[in-house]
Structure 1
Amino acid sequence: MSLQGCRRFQSSAVNYSSMLLEADSERLYVGARGAVFALNASDISSSALTIEWEASPEQKQQCLSKGKDNKTECFNHIRFLQRFNSTHLYMCGTHAFRPLCAYINEKNFVMSSQPEEGRDKCPYSPTTGYTGLIIDQQIYTAAQYEFRSFPDIRRNSPSPTLKTEDAPTRWLNEADFVGSALVKESEGSSSGDDDKIYFFFTERTEEQTATYSHNRVARVARVCKGDRGGHLTLQKRWTSFLKARLMCSLPEYNFHFNMLRSVFVVPGHTPQATLFFGIFGLEWKSVKASAVCRFSLSEVQEAFQGPYMENQDSGSKWKEYTGKIPDPRPGTCITDTLRARGINISTSLPDDVLDFVRRHPLMSQQVQPLDKRPLLFRRTTDYTHMAVHMIQGLDGQTYHVLYMGTDEGWLHKAVQVDGHLHIIEELQVFEEPQPVDSLLISDKQMSVYIGSPSGVVQLPLSNCRRYTTCYDCIFARDPHCAWNGAQCVEMMAHADRSTLIQDIQHGSRGCENTQDDVVQRSRSVRVGDDVLLQCELSSNLATPLWTQDDRELQGYGLNSGFRTGTDGLLIIEARQDQSGQYTCYAVENDVRVAMVTYNVTIRVDLPLPPPPAPLLPTSDLLNPRNMEAMYLSLITILGGLCVVLTVVLIYVGFCLRVGHRGKYSLRAAAAAYPNSKRNRNRKHHRNSAHMELKTISNGNGICNGISKQYNGDIHDGGFLQIVPGEGHTSHNRESPPPAPPLPPTPHLPSPEADFPNGLSATLPSVLRRMNGNSYVLLRQSDSDNSSPLCYSFAEELNRILEKRKHTQLLPRPDESSV
């Protein structure tokens, strides 16, 4: 099933990782590798403006001489793309490991000046964790800028420039930044507080406690916008830098998600109501799992007002500081209280306060989630990026709808209800697995934009038309959708909502008085036959329930005469007393919805079907193993004939040559057939030098028994060698150690099940994941229904290679920077 309302943008460039949405101008700016694009936000597939900005061949050659990868690193990856003022944008690129920045004239969409040095604003590598903001024409960035440098948070321009401290206490330890945000805490502040910039990252842990032990932990840090550094102590350094740990864990299991992958900031009606949503993962790369936690700004502020951590011996053991804290409190912004004492700027702070800040950047109190536990935990999914949309439901409540991209190119839509996330739908955005690199939401266009290595995709925030019944619409619990009595409609498109039905809190109420047509079918079968009654459920969260003449069928065991699967009910060796009306219900949220009704008649007087055509007598000689031996024997015989013919031809040629010249040169014969030297390093049967019969796969297919050899191991580049007189011994290579076992999943009946009377009843091949936390699973193709009888060798090899493409950067095939 294709994605409805989907629009795509692709070009010759790759790695579309930077996006900037301008709602007023209805433009979407996209930074890729070697190019920047200006797209129409209402339809990104229409014409686009382009600025080509690639590194020169000389610069690429210098990058290559540094030992960098000339297929991914030695290009100009656009890492920073922000609005600078009302007329210009500002962008920075890695520029083949020599970062440069430039201004863009928005009106003409051209570079308005020569590129300037960017080493203090942009990282060298396209994969280094990085975040940046432009606030009042001041550039705030955070990254590990150079290969051998320490991670740093900087204000680059205008003067004064500030950065984090490295000695005697290093403020950041191998930090990997994922996001930053400005919170205007000065608005409505009774104390004259300053705005603050928050940075989110993962770093190597410093503290050692009895409750957890991890190499890396998630952090939030903050600095004051008005910080100007110290006068003597902390000169050109932040005087307001503080950091604290973000906790996202399952308390009952003492299980911590310590890797922060993405953060989205949701502004509230006041600065204090600001929320931070974060995607967390595990430190072990071999185990896929994700958790989503949300934090309040008030919890973060409370942590920064708490006790400090101390490291007295410059070692790795940090403990809570219990000594005297200088006044004014270290790390705070300039407020009205400090101004009344004559401290109007950070350079006026006392040296003892600044020295304390230098040695105590870490807070002891941890920032706990607002819900005390994750909103969502997924065992087999790695989320990469997220965006949050706020919408008011029919019940008057404001709901947060999360759009989360995965490392395999899927988009999950979920709604937050009562401290947990209910996944509404899962959309396969890309046919080829690739990570989602960026996500943006437009309220004006009601669209979500998804950046990836191969292109940009635009999808509507909702597609209510896919829900065809009242219960489908209600069960989805999509705040964008409501039932109007006849169809599921976009709620925002209706000014009069008095007749609409919606139940986000429970997903079960409102459809009691609606009547949906139930599919009616009839089946007449003979006694002793197996009868399959199919029932397709539209919801992944629904479970099937069958009744016979309004009596619920229980057991479904072999002795009951029934067997049920996720897609149907099988009547085994039908009896006359099993005639009746069978109804399939979809049970979800404690609500039963009839899906299909069968009137089954089981009779003894049905005409017998015509006898099947007589089958050829079977023989053990026709089994695959013997057939393969026969083929090999036939090939061997033909090979022998070829050898005989070759000898005859050589003999005839020798006789002719003798008759003509009187002698024959073996060296000349060898020179006349130079290709015979190809096999000099392989074994041959004695008395048959330089002769070998081999069968080479030319893409026509690997079928049946041969495909099994391919799945196990194929040596010598895929050649099946047949050497007269010698057997070829295959040695199986040692398989790699298995990945950690995933949690057990509920047992589902196999698509093909053998039944007592020898009938192999084939159930529908598409089995829904009953316990998957999802509502609708869309497919872009029906490849699941195909039977893999034959695969070409090239196709099989391509499948293996495609599975290995999980890097964040996508190099073009057969292309290098030099």
Structure 2
Amino acid sequence: MGRIWVEEGTALFPWQEDSRNYLTLVEQYGDGLLVCGTGACAPTCWNVTQRKESPPWDGRGIAPFTPDSNTLVVVDGQDIYSTIKKSQQNGKIPRFRRVRGGGELYTSDTVMQNPQFVKATTLRHEEPHQDKIYYFFREDNPDKSPEAPRNISRVAQLCKEDRGGTSSLSASKWTTFLKATLICVDPITKGNFNWLQDVFFVPASDWRRSKVYGLFTNTWGSSAVCVYSFGDIDNVFRTSRLKGYNGPTPEVKPGQCVPSGQHTPSETFKIADSHPEVEERVEPLSPSRSPLFHNKHRYQKIGVHEVAAGDGQRYNVLYLATDKGSIHKVVELPDGVQNIVEIQVFPNKDPIQAMILDHARVGPCSGGGRVLELPMDMCGAYRNNCHSCVLARDPYCGWANGSCLSLALS
């Protein structure tokens, strides 16, 4: 699917002419696109099909009142999930909501402590009632000891078919919420990368093999990439005890998805609501449970693309946006990870705030609002130098006809 590149504050549709109306969402929805914006503090959405837009409708809960980086919106079929407040007068406690689809629900105010949302996705299981929502976030660390980090990185799960609780107090609350800690630690240096900066999802035909590439930073300005499987994440939520809970396990376990049309039993919800964290932590997907790599650069964003190279092998290529306006292209090779090229996107070294991969181009956007498109292969970076082209071991590029050309098959 093609991408729409938007420069903040530039009129793309008639309703964007007010400079206070920032476009915040463009997603496929039904037969067309769902387009939402701040509407000059009056959040508004439109359904756009074949270059025609519907009359505007109330976008509260889907678009923010003002541009806000601590928001997530996930569109999955007819369901829309969001962390955006529905009213400017709402309290300061952020919630994860289902705002459209199978009935409105929100997370309890006590299950997260000052969350900073990073990214969310949905995952199909073999049985529809087992389909899950996973979202990744940072929150205040409940451990207040001096040596403990201020923030802790988490993954949370929810069942897509959650119908809320059976009592008046829980009827509008998610009843299947659980959270787990994400670990990204170098086992040799014991360096702890505790600040989840960004994630990128790599789907697979078997949902258990779908991966999460997590980009982490630490207080010393270094970065690490840790890779997790959704199979491991699911196993942690299914098998781990609840932290701080020593009572009996109810017949329907906390976090368990119940068959369609049923509600989570009240007893189960009460236990999960008061003990939402599981004891077991989610560790990286590697024999040593270590980061894929780490270095002293401070990365802001991550993207991953699997490419079929000219040698017939498939490689994962990582695109990492730095805080100095450059992109590092890193490839996973059989003998390890190699940083093969750096592209300086913005000469004045503005940080790259957003980056989208569409399998043909990389589109980074600086904080200053400029938007650029780059070819994903970036073979031009080797300046038609045979030595540089070949030694880089770039799976996209090869030397042919006196030039460094893109030889990737996909």
TM over 0.5: yes
Counterpart of 2:221? 288
Work out the CA distance in 1 between the residues paired with 2:200 and 2:301: 9
Work out the CA distance in 1 between the residues paired with 2:232 and 2:143: 20
1:755-794 matched pairs, under 5 angstroms: none
Distance 1:124 1:52, change over 3 A: closer
- Of Structure 1 and Structure 2, the greater strand share is in 2
Counterpart of 2:252? 328
Counterpart of 2:404? 488
Work out the CA distance in 2 between the residues paired with 1:419 and 1:179: 31
Counterpart of 1:228? 163
Q: Tell me whether 1:156 sits opposite 2:99 in the alignment.
A: yes
TM-superposed deviation, 1:254:
2.4
Among 103, 115, 135, the alignment partner of 1:175 is: 115
Distance 1:346 1:418, change over 3 A: farther
Work out the CA distance in 1 between the residues paired with 2:59 and 2:376: 40
Among 173, 189, 213, the alignment partner of 1:253 is: 189
TM-superposed deviation, 1:115:
4.2
Work out the CA distance in 2 between the residues paired with 1:332 and 1:439: 35
2:43–2:64 CA contact under 8 A, matched in 1: no
Work out the CA distance in 1 between the residues paired with 2:144 and 2:317: 37
Query: What amino acid does structure 2 have at the position aligned with 1:216?
Result: N
Among 126, 139, 143, the alignment partner of 1:203 is: 139
Q: Greater Rg, structure 1 or structure 2?
A: 1
Query: What amino acid does structure 2 have at the position aligned with 1:489?
Result: L
Among 268, 287, 307, the alignment partner of 2:240 is: 307
2:303–2:320 CA contact under 8 A, matched in 1: yes
Distance 1:434 1:487, change over 3 A: closer
Query: What amino acid does structure 2 have at the position aligned with 1:290?
Result: S
Distance 1:122 1:308, change over 3 A: farther
Work out the CA distance in 2 between the residues paired with 1:194 and 1:92: 33
TM-superposed deviation, 1:209:
8.9
TM-superposed deviation, 1:263:
0.8
Query: What amino acid does structure 1 have at the position aligned with 2:304?
Result: V
Unaligned runs of 5+ in 1: 1-22, 38-49, 57-74, 311-318, 495-818
2:21–2:37 CA contact under 8 A, matched in 1: no
Work out the CA distance in 2 between the residues paired with 1:365 and 1:99: 43
Counterpart of 2:55? 113
Work out the CA distance in 2 between the residues paired with 1:244 and 1:78: 33
Work out the CA distance in 2 between the residues paired with 1:345 and 1:248: 38
Query: What amino acid does structure 2 have at the position aligned with 1:121?
Result: I
1:84–1:90 CA contact under 8 A, matched in 2: no
Work out the CA distance in 2 between the residues paired with 1:385 and 1:407: 9
SS at match of 2:373: strand
2:309–2:409 CA contact under 8 A, matched in 1: no
Counterpart of 2:215? 279
Counterpart of 2:307? 391
Distance 1:115 1:55, change over 3 A: farther
1:140-539 matched pairs, under 5 angstroms: 140-143=81-84, 148-158=91-101, 160-166=103-109, 170-185=110-125, 189=126, 193-207=129-143, 213-232=148-167, 234-282=170-218, 284=219, 287-310=220-243, 319=244, 321-334=245-258, 339=259, 344-347=260-263, 349-371=264-286, 372-379=289-296, 381-418=297-334, 420-443=336-359, 446-452=360-366, 453-464=368-379, 466=382, 468-484=384-400, 486-492=402-408
Counterpart of 1:13? none
Query: What amino acid does structure 1 have at the position aligned with 2:365?
Result: G
Work out the CA distance in 2 between the residues paired with 1:203 and 1:142: 14
Residues 38-73 of structure 1: per-residue CA shift (max 9 Å, x gap) = xxxxxxxxxxxx4452558xxxxxxxxxxxxxxxxx
2:183–2:282 CA contact under 8 A, matched in 1: yes
Work out the CA distance in 2 between the residues paired with 1:295 and 1:92: 33
Residues 544-574 of structure 1: per-residue CA shift (max 9 Å, x gap) = xxxxxxxxxxxxxxxxxxxxxxxxxxxxxxx
Work out the CA distance in 1 between the residues paired with 2:211 and 2:57: 37
Q: Tell me whether 1:86 sits opposite 2:3 in the alignment.
A: no
Query: What amino acid does structure 2 have at the position aligned with 1:307?
Result: S
TM-superposed deviation, 1:266:
0.4
TM-superposed deviation, 1:383:
1.3
Query: What amino acid does structure 2 have at the position aligned with 1:415?
Result: V
Distance 1:428 1:460, change over 3 A: same
TM-superposed deviation, 1:207:
4.9
* TM-score of the superposed pair, with normalisation by structure 1: 0.46
TM-superposed deviation, 1:179:
0.8
1:374–1:420 CA contact under 8 A, matched in 2: no
TM-superposed deviation, 1:192:
5.6
Distance 1:209 1:144, change over 3 A: farther
Query: What amino acid does structure 2 have at the position aligned with 1:112?
Result: S
SS at match of 2:188: helix
Residues 128-161 of structure 1: per-residue CA shift (max 9 Å, x gap) = 4111111122210125675842011000014510
Residues 479-506 of structure 1: per-residue CA shift (max 9 Å, x gap) = 1112348543321369xxxxxxxxxxxx
Counterpart of 1:139? 80
Counterpart of 1:552? none
TM-superposed deviation, 1:127:
3.5
SS at match of 2:105: coil
TM-superposed deviation, 1:103:
0.7
SS at match of 2:329: strand
1:375–1:419 CA contact under 8 A, matched in 2: no
2:85–2:94 CA contact under 8 A, matched in 1: yes
1:31–1:79 CA contact under 8 A, matched in 2: no
Query: How many pairs align?
Result: 403
1:718-733 matched pairs, under 5 angstroms: none
Query: What amino acid does structure 1 have at the position aligned with 2:156?
Result: A
Work out the CA distance in 2 between the residues paired with 1:308 and 1:411: 41
Work out the CA distance in 2 between the residues paired with 1:157 and 1:469: 54
* TM-score of the superposed pair, with normalisation by structure 2: 0.89
TM-superposed deviation, 1:35:
4.3
1:607-626 matched pairs, under 5 angstroms: none
1:142–1:154 CA contact under 8 A, matched in 2: yes
Deviates more, 1:403-412 or 1:145-154: 145-154
1:448–1:461 CA contact under 8 A, matched in 2: yes
Unaligned runs of 5+ in 2: none
1:244–1:304 CA contact under 8 A, matched in 2: yes
Work out the CA distance in 1 between the residues paired with 2:396 and 2:241: 45
SS at match of 2:106: coil
TM-superposed deviation, 1:76:
2.9
TM-superposed deviation, 1:222:
1.5
